[in-house]
Amino acid sequence: MSRTQIISGPAGNLELAIDLPPPGQERRAIAVCCHPHPQHGGALTNKVIHTVARTLAGLGIVSIRFNFRGVGRSDGDYDSGRGEGEDLRAVVDWAREQYPDRELWLAGFSFGSWVAALASDALGCGQLISVAPPAGRFDFADFPGPGCPWLVVMGDADEVVEPQAVFDWLESLAAGPELIVMEQAGHFFHGRLVELRERLEAALAPQVPALIKDET
């Protein structure tokens, strides 16, 4: 089940879509999911980040997609990642108020994975999920890797982000992530979204926190 929400952000309204777990299956975590580049059609309706969010909801994690400033019903203008990071923090703050005492998971696709990665340690992230991180296109120099478990998914036929640049970057890190390479998958995983969901489920299921017990 999904519902929409408007909250206050640093540049005005922020538009959210909240994907809820099946009844009785809610876990002690929340996930905030970041969409691809706002200037190239990126929005919370993007099929890849939608797949990620719905996968996490299926695992029992309340998952929140949101539109960065200037997209959809979110106010403001594109800010080269700086303001978008502020948007992410505002959504995380709101989510923590609504769902206290839960582990924070951050997920992002392409540009969104860059924004999520740079904010992950400051936000106290417990699990980071990066789909097609744009190494070579955006500056990850200030990101040595998160202080939490990290999953990266990359198609080896990505036509937007150079796969080898991503693989070389990950190898250069002192502590690399768990890496899923999807053979012959392009940047938008056309025709491969079901497989993407299945691969995410298999990798993340062991990391999911405990169920929230019904105390009524």
pTM: 0.97
3-class DSSP state for residue 62?
strand
User: 10 Å Cβ neighbour count for 197?
Assistant: 16
Ranges of each domain in the chain: 2-207
Report whether CATH 3.40.50.1820 matches the domain 2-207.
yes
Cite the DSSP H helix spans in the chain.
47-58, 82-98, 111-119, 163-172, 193-204
Residue 82, pLDDT score: 97
Report the alpha-carbon distance of residue 93 to residue 82 in Å, rounded: 17
Residue 154, pLDDT score: 98
Mind listing the pLDDT tens digit for each residue in 69-125? 999 999 999 999 999 999 999 999 999 999 999 999 999 999 999 999 999 999 999
Report the alpha-carbon distance of residue 58 to residue 67 in Å, rounded: 22
- Bridge-partner residues for 130, per DSSP? 108, 152
